[in-house]
C-alpha cells in the first residue's frame, strides 16, 4: 500500500473523495489514504507546497492563479457550486449587507458577479475568513445575504432561514468549482499513484450519482450536518468530473478576476486531464486519448 494524504473541505463538491474513502476505492488502487478536513480552502495550497498532503479537492481558481503554477488540476468535481442566499422576509432591493469569504474562491467570485448582475451597487460587503464565517454571519442575522456552497444553501432553505436567489450557473453555465488537485512535481514523480487516485475519485463520483442516499449518509460524517440536508442538496447539485472542460465559463471567471484586480497577465498549463481521459476511455471501452498538458489556451496569473 502506498501512503498518501489528501486534504478535503466540507461540501457536496467533496463527495467523490468521501465515497472513495468509505467504499474502499482508494484501497482497491493500493493506496493507504489519510484524510484531513481543512478548516478553509486558502490553507490548502501551503499544505500541498510543503508536502503535508499530496492531493486535495480545492477551488480551481486558486490553482489557475498560483504564482509559478506549482499545482495541477486532475478532474472536475464542484459544478455550479455556489449560491447566494437571502434571508427571509425581505426583497432583493432591500439587501444592504452581504457576507463573502476571502477573495479568490468560487463563493467569492460568484458573489461578486451576482452583486453586479443584481445591481447591488451600494451594499456593504462583510469579508469573512472562511465560508463558515459567512454562514455564521448569515444565520446570526448580521447580514441580509451570503454566498455559500451546497449543502449549506439547501440547509438554510430547509431551516427556514433563507432562500437561494441565484447560483453560479445563473452567471456561468456549467462552471467548475472545487477540483481534484495535486502538485506538478508529484504528478511527474508518481504518475501511477496519480492515475490510481483519479480512478478511485471517478468511481467515487459514480457512486454519488447512483447511490445518493448512501452518499449523503457518508458525507454527513465529514460535513457534520444532518444527512437529510445533504440528500436534498444532491437533488440540486452533484459533482461533475468534466466540469473543467468548460473553458468558456472558466475564461469568463478569470476575466472577472482580472477586472477585480485579483490577477494579471496571461499564462497556461494549470490542468492535465489526461488521467481522467484514460479513465473515461476505459469505461467507454475505447483506447485512451493521447496525454495532454492542458485543456486551455490561456489563463491568468497572480
**pLDDT tens digit sequence for 47-85:** 999 999 999 999 999 999 887 889 999 999 999 999 999
How high is the pLDDT of residue 265?
Answer: 63
Give, in order, the Cα–Cα distances in Å from 266 to each of 177, 253, 291: 21, 14, 23
How high is the pLDDT of residue 292?
Answer: 39
pLDDT digits (tens, 9 = 90+) for 117-133: 999 989 999 999 989 99
Find the farthest-apart pair of alpha carbons in the chain and give their distance in angstroms, rounded: 57
pLDDT digits (tens, 9 = 90+) for 131-176: 999 999 999 999 999 999 999 999 999 999 999 999 999 999 999 9
How high is the pLDDT of residue 302?
Answer: 28
pLDDT digits (tens, 9 = 90+) for 193-210: 999 999 999 999 999 999
DSSP 42: G
Count of residues in the chain: 302
Mean pLDDT of 26-35: 97
Q: Cα dihedral sign for 212, 171, 45, 148?
A: negative
pLDDT digits (tens, 9 = 90+) for 208-231: 999 999 999 999 999 999 999 999
Question: Does the pLDDT at position 236 exceed 80?
Answer: yes
How high is the pLDDT of residue 41?
Answer: 85
Q: Pick the more confident residue, 297 or 55.
A: 55
CB 187 within 8 A of CB 72: yes
Distance, CA of 136 to CA of 127 (rounded, Å): 12
Amino acid at each position: 500500500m502506498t501512503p498518501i494524504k489528501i486534504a478535503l473541505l466540507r461540501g457536496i463538491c467533496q463527495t467523490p473523495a468521501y465515497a472513495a474513502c468509505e467504499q474502499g476505492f482508494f484501497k482497491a488502487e493500493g493506496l493507504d489514504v489519510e484524510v484531513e478536513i481543512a478548516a478553509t480552502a486558502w490553507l490548502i495550497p501551503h499544505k500541498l507546497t510543503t508536502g503535508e498532503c499530496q492531493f486535495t479537492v480545492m477551488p480551481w481558481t486558486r490553482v489557475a492563479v498560483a504564482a509559478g503554477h506549482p499545482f495541477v488540476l486532475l478532474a472536475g468535481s464542484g459544478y455550479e457550486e455556489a449560491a447566494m442566499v437571502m434571508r427571509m422576509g425581505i426583497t432583493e432591493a432591500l439587501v444592504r449587507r452581504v457576507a463573502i469569504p476571502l477573495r479568490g474562491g468560487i463563493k467569492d467570485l460568484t458573489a461578486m458577479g451576482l452583486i453586479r448582475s443584481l445591481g447591488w451597487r451600494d451594499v456593504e460587503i462583510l469579508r469573512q475568513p472562511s465560508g463558515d464565517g459567512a454562514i455564521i454571519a448569515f444565520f446570526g442575522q448580521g447580514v441580509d445575504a451570503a454566498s455559500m456552497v451546497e449543502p449549506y444553501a439547501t440547509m438554510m432553505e430547509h431551516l427556514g432561514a433563507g432562500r437561494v436567489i441565484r447560483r453560479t450557473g445563473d452567471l456561468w453555465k456549467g462552471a467548475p468549482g472545487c477540483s481534484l488537485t495535486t502538485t506538478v512535481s508529484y504528478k511527474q514523480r508518481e504518475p501511477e499513484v496519480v492515475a490510481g487516485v483519479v480512478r478511485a475519485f471517478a468511481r467515487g463520483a459514480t457512486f454519488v450519482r447512483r447511490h445518493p442516499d448512501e452518499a449523503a449518509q457518508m458525507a454527513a460524517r465529514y460535513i457534520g450536518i444532518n444527512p437529510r440536508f445533504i440528500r436534498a442538496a444532491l437533488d440540486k447539485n452533484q459533482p461533475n468530473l468534466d466540469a473543467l472542460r468548460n473553458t468558456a465559463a472558466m475564461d469568463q471567471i478569470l476575466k472577472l478576476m482580472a477586472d477585480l484586480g485579483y490577477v494579471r497577465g496571461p499564462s497556461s498549463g494549470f490542468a492535465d486531464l489526461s488521467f481522467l481521459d484514460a479513465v473515461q476511455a476505459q469505461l467507454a471501452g475505447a483506447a485512451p486519448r493521447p496525454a495532454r498538458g492542458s485543456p486551455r489556451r490561456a489563463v491568468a496569473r497572480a
